Amino acid sequence: MKALLIIDVQNDFIKGGTLAVPDSEQVIPVINDLMEKFNLILATQDWHPRKTAHFEEWPVHCVAGSKGADFPFDFHKEKIVQIFYKGTGNRDDGYSGFEATNIELVDYLKKNGISQLYICGIALEFCVKSSALDALKEGFQVFLIRDAIANFSREQEKIEQEYEELQKAGAKIVLSHQV
């Protein structure tokens, strides 16, 4: 059984947001289309307190309950079955969806008989990567949907390195039309 895990599609990571990831708005329609191919659609949200050690590393972003933490208006959020909130503590980066504090993601996936996890969203180098590596450690088959993932880096070589590392760890890299 497969599930789609959408990482951090939130206003602050999109153009006009406080921690905008280049061209990230372009993954929204791709992810909207992907949602039609899954029965179980899960999403993470970066959900930080106003004061957190995380904001020593990053500009203030995705403060719990703020507009910046919200889903973009054109994202088909009504298809999401369960949201996992992460980074909710004041010393907790919460890069991985597996660090969600409202519900244990591993337990949720196991209870729902999920063995294949298709991952997309924002951003490749941090939350997508940590979530994918944790999923592999937990024994899930991981598919990264490359055209539905936005990256911070604009350097092609760095992006390739990230995908290579993820592939070496056991992730399969696919395109949305192959799903």
Q: Is 123 in the site for ligand VGL (CB under 6 A)?
A: yes
Binding characters for ligand VGL, 127-156, by CB under 6 A (x = yes): x-----------------------------
Closest approach of Zn ion to the CB of residue 99, in Å: 11
What is the rounded CA–CA span in Å between residue 122 and residue 177?
A: 19
Closest approach of ligand VGL to the CB of residue 54, in Å: 7
Closest approach of ligand VGL to the CB of residue 119, in Å: 12
Of 63 and 114, the one with the shorter C-beta distance to Zn ion is: 63
Inter-axis angle of helices 129-137 and 156-168, nearest 10: 10
Interface stretch with ligand VGL, choices 24-32, 72-80, 111-119, 121-129 (CB under 6 A): 121-129
What is the rounded CA–CA span in Å between residue 22 and residue 53?
A: 24
Contacts (Cβ under 8 Å, ≥6 apart) of 164: none
Q: Is 122 in the site for ligand VGL (CB under 6 A)?
A: yes
Q: Is 55 in the site for ligand VGL (CB under 6 A)?
A: no
Choose, by CB under 6 A, the member of 118, 126, 140, 143 that binds ligand VGL.
126
What is the rounded CA–CA span in Å between residue 158 and residue 140?
A: 26
Choose, by CB under 6 A, the member of 4, 9, 28, 46 that binds ligand VGL.
46
Binding site for Zn ion (CB under 5 A): 46
Peptide bond preceding 132: is omega within 30 degrees of 0, i.e. cis? no
Q: Classify burial at 170, counting beta carbons within 10 Å of its beta carbon; exposed 0-12, middle 13-18, buried 19 or more.
A: middle
- Residue of 32, 59, 40, 45 whose CA lies nearest to 122: 45
Q: Please give the residue ranges that form the binding site for ligand VGL (CB under 6 A).
A: 8, 46, 58, 122-123, 126-127
